[in-house]
Chains A and B, each alone.
Chain A
């Protein structure tokens, strides 16, 4: 049973466009929803995270939108740049109590 479902598997976006990656989760006990960014040959690194008490969190060009009733959350990258080309993982956990459960990842390519 996949606890966190992520889509799409791959995404190609024009420079300056908006990249959108979606995730859905099963476990209603999850209360921490991070996005990780991974460049080739590197370990994943935290990009942005949200708790279910807010519906949106923005950090620079990166925004998480959270829909608790639908058990879905998404990452929006505004003004996408070639340097944003990476693999993005959504994840979920019960904060401080359970390990992170990851989606399968989205490979983003931003082309000029």
Chain B
């Protein structure tokens, strides 16, 4: 049972490049979320999904797209990376009606 798996662990992008951060969970959880963590800012919600085919915006959605075609996967897309998107990104999942959020190990992204 791997829990929540994020790939890659580290990534360097040039301004304007695009990429997809992958997130997969094997706990059959309906609820998945993406957060970014910046020094002194805590964890801020980017996008979340309450089930396959359903997504919604969080606190800081600009510059990011998501989709949820399966229960297991919730990728986060950066269409045109900007230095302001340099951050550590965490994916989390929660069971239906549950409360505990299980986090992945994070992706450290640097945009130069």
Residues in A lying within 8 Å of B, measured CB to CB: 6, 9, 32, 34, 41-46, 49, 89, 93, 95-96, 99-105
Contacts and interface: CB of A to CB of B under 8 A. Distances in A.
Given A42-B105, A89-B42, A99 B33 contact: yes
8 contacts: A32-B99, A43-B103, A44-B103, A46-B100, A99-B31, A99-B45, A100-B101, A101-B45
Given A42-B105, A43-B103, A6 B42 contact: yes
Contacts of B42: 6, 89, 102-105
B104 A9 contact: no
Given A42-B105, A43-B92, 15 more contacts: A32-B99, A34-B100, A42-B106, A44-B43, A89-B43, A93-B99, A95-B99, A96-B99, A100-B33, A100-B92, A101-B45, A102-B42, A102-B43, A104-B41, A105-B42
